[in-house]
Amino acid sequence: MLARDAETSLSKTPLHALHLARGGKMVPFAGYDMPVQYAAGVLKEHLHTRANAGLFDVSHMGQIALTPKSGKIEDAALALEKLVPQDILAVAPGRQRYAQFTNAAGGLLDDLMVANFGDHLFLVVNAACKTEDEAHLRKHLSDVCTIDVLADRALIALQGPKAATVFAKLCAEAPTMKFMDAGPHQVDGIACFVSRSGYTGEDGFEISIPAAQAEALVTKLLDDADVMPIGLGARDSLRLEAGLCLYGHDIDTSTSPVEAALEWSVQKSRRTGGARAGGFPGADVILSQFEKGAARRRVGLRPEGRAPVREGAALFADATSTKQIGTVTSGGFGPSLNAPIAMGYLPTAQAADGATVFAEVRGQRLPLRVSPMPFVPHSYKR
């Protein structure tokens, strides 16, 4: 009875019935009943996305519109800059940028995407954080912006080398879009929000669709022989191969952008000496780390042998040391590489590529080599 009650309390995306009809194996994730895989299985779904096109339901993510009360998009951008270390003012209409909400200690409350739609900013935030993110925005930006949670929309991702060819059949502007272009577009006659982006390292698109029209559009995409539905299992292995962070695992309130190797996401205008340096929560900590370095760093790890090293495994400097120096934050098997891969945190002095560390796995010390990321090269259309 308890299990059934827990199951019925889960939220469902607008595509829930489609997942069941197509044999999705459903699991609880971030408060939602989501497909972890379909009949093909995680391995085939992963490899299909790398070779063809995979379709993901990411409707559990939060979609939020920030509309400036003044009518000037610059006011919304500058207001959001009070909460993130990124240059939002420089995001041109029709473009999108990766950002993070920071706290007073320099840690990350969430990571998100921010798009400039001309008259408002469109945000996509993580499912597990979306309630807190909305409250955070209302607390700090309500005087400048109208904050609308777009709860009546689905969100899907079409990813892989054939995604552009498939999507161009339904969206005339698709071929001209480049990586991180974003805006309103007609998709098979439906008013959607489209960005050329994703979470797999492959070229692809994320498409926000009115909930009532989502199943029809997704069914049409899945009718294409090159497209396969993909669950959370392959989504995780794809993003790990791409070296992309998963919030709550590789980044959280205890990690800063510098520790997380996300310096690239903080533009010079927000750093010391920049036109709008600081002014965001934790700026003193984060900007100091830019200048002096951080004590630890997120790194890629390649275990020797075939045994995967999972999240939570303790890391040690050698095979006999009793002093833990780091932790694996994501780990598993990389189907594209036919080998195990992982990422985690190490002291900066021991985080150089090529260094060897050891993970504690079932009472044994397994060697891992610090490796550059991404493990699989990105294929974005620049």
Domain ranges in the chain are: 2-58+152-241, 295-382
- Per residue in 284-337, pLDDT tens? 999 999 999 999 999 999 999 999 999 999 999 999 999 999 999 999 999 999
Q: How confident is the model at residue 37 (pLDDT cuts 50, 70, 90)?
A: very high
Phi, psi of 371 (to 5 degrees): -130, 145
3-state secondary structure of 60: coil
- Per residue in 191-225, pLDDT tens? 999 999 999 999 999 999 999 999 999 999 999 99
Distance CA 282, CA 369 (A): 32
Rounded to an integer, what is the distance from CA 279 to the centroid of its chain? 25
Give pLDDT, residue 5.
Answer: 40
Which fold, 2-58+152-241? Gyrase A; domain 2 (3.30.1360)
Rounded to an integer, what is the distance from CA 200 to the centroid of its chain? 9
The rounded percent of the chain whose pLDDT value lies above 70 is 98
The rounded percent of the chain whose pLDDT value lies above 90 is 98
Domains 2-58+152-241 and 295-382 share a fold: no
Distance CA 304, CA 318 (A): 14
- Per residue in 43-80, pLDDT tens? 999 999 999 999 999 999 999 999 999 999 999 999 99
- Per residue in 117-144, pLDDT tens? 999 999 999 999 999 999 999 999 999 9
Average pLDDT of the segment spanning 372-380? 98
Indicate whether 94 pLDDT > 70: yes
Distance CA 144, CA 146 (A): 7
Give pLDDT, residue 48.
Answer: 98
Q: Is the dihedral of CA 185, 190, 191, 196 positive or negative?
A: negative
246: nearest Cα among 343, 105, 130, 181: 343
Give pLDDT, residue 4.
Answer: 37
Structure tokens at 286: 């984060």
Give pLDDT, residue 196.
Answer: 98
Give pLDDT, residue 79.
Answer: 98
- Per residue in 255-285, pLDDT tens? 999 999 999 999 999 999 999 999 999 999 9
Give pLDDT, residue 124.
Answer: 98
Q: How confident is the model at residue 8 (pLDDT cuts 50, 70, 90)?
A: low
Strand partners, 145: 68
3-state secondary structure of 217: helix
Average pLDDT of the segment spanning 83-97? 98
Instruction: Tell me if 376 sits within 8 A of 201, measured CB to CB.
Output: yes
Give pLDDT, residue 259.
Answer: 98
Give pLDDT, residue 228.
Answer: 98
Q: What is the CATH number of domain 295-382?
A: 2.40.30.110
Q: How confident is the model at residue 2 (pLDDT cuts 50, 70, 90)?
A: very low
